[in-house]
Amino acid sequence: MKNPFFRFIVVFTILIILWFGFYENIYELEPIFGVDIQRQVSLKLANLSNWFVAKFGFTPSLSTNTDYVITSLVGDYYGQGVWIGEPCNGIKVFGLFSIFIIAFEGSWKDKIWFIPLGLLLLHFINAIRIALLTIIAAKYPDLLDFNHNITFQIIVYGVVFFLWYIWVNKFSKKRKETTKI
């Protein structure tokens, strides 16, 4: 596996298969760890999102009466709020981002700090996304589907690609070797 591209493809493919196998069975881990991972991540995301909603000047509400975590606005608004669950809680994107960085060339010293920092940024971007979707759902419900399915998907995946771009151009081993010449 001396060819870096071939190595990346093989490692990335193996890790993706393992990740999606794990991800599809994440609900079965609840008895082992004693916690519903999806729900806990959704709840943390909703709490952070509601913090942003409050900063935007609205009064947020949080409901956990269903299988989903629901954020909404307090007051006389349209809609039922935003339901947060799989895949909107970001866990799947966290895995894809991390696997790319792990599989791509670069020092483990850089990977150890870059991955958590990237995950934190993605979590904050997702919380802002949920906050804005909560406001849109309440005030402009007819715009919710478009913004949920198009606008914010482009923004979130744009940030993922931007982080990958930074990794490839600033931190990968290949880039460092060509800079030394």
Q: Using a cut of 0.75, tell me whether the model's pTM lies above it.
A: yes
Structure tokens at 32: 């082992």
Per-residue pLDDT of the chain (181 residues; tens, 9 = 90+): 688 889 999 999 999 999 988 888 776 767 677 777 888 899 999 999 999 999 999 999 999 877 789 999 998 887 778 999 888 899 999 999 999 999 999 999 999 999 999 999 999 999 999 999 999 999 999 999 999 999 999 999 999 999 999 999 998 865 555 555 4
**Nearest-CA neighbor of 171 among 98, 110, 102?**
110
Return d(Cα 72, Cα 56) in angstroms, integer: 13
